[in-house]
Amino acid sequence: MTDAYLAERLSETHPWVQKTYSQLAELGHFSRRHIFASVAKTNGEERTVHFQISAQDPLRPDEDYFEIVECFYETMRTTCMIAAGYHAALRAMHARNASKA
């Protein structure tokens, strides 16, 4: 079982998973996401890009951070929902086995 397979299967019921997985996979494979995350500012007139690699993030819109928090929330909500379903299935199985005894 691979992470790509899990993302694909979860996307069947939670469509946001595949997009999020793809974006996060870019971080693990050093791609454009790494490069753009470190851009502090650009100057179109001079055609320059300034990068900031430090302990502090470059200034960026609050919406960028909201997206991260919302994704974390949805991931935790989905995980809890799946765990609750698993727990309910186990309880039902144990109840059936107890009634047979």
Q: What is the pLDDT tens value at each position of the chain, 101 positions in all?
A: 788 888 899 899 998 888 888 877 766 665 566 667 778 889 999 999 988 887 877 777 788 788 888 888 888 998 999 999 999 999 999 999 888 87
First to last CA, the chain: 36
Residue 82: name the closest of 19, 17, 4, 24 by CA: 17
Mean pLDDT, all residues of the chain: 84
Handedness of CA 61, 67, 68, 73 (dihedral sign): positive
- Coil, helix or strand for 51? strand
Handedness of CA 82, 85, 89, 94 (dihedral sign): positive
pLDDT digits (tens, 9 = 90+) for 9-25: 989 999 888 888 887 77
Q: For residues 8 and 32, what is the distance between their CA atoms, to the nearest angstrom? A: 22
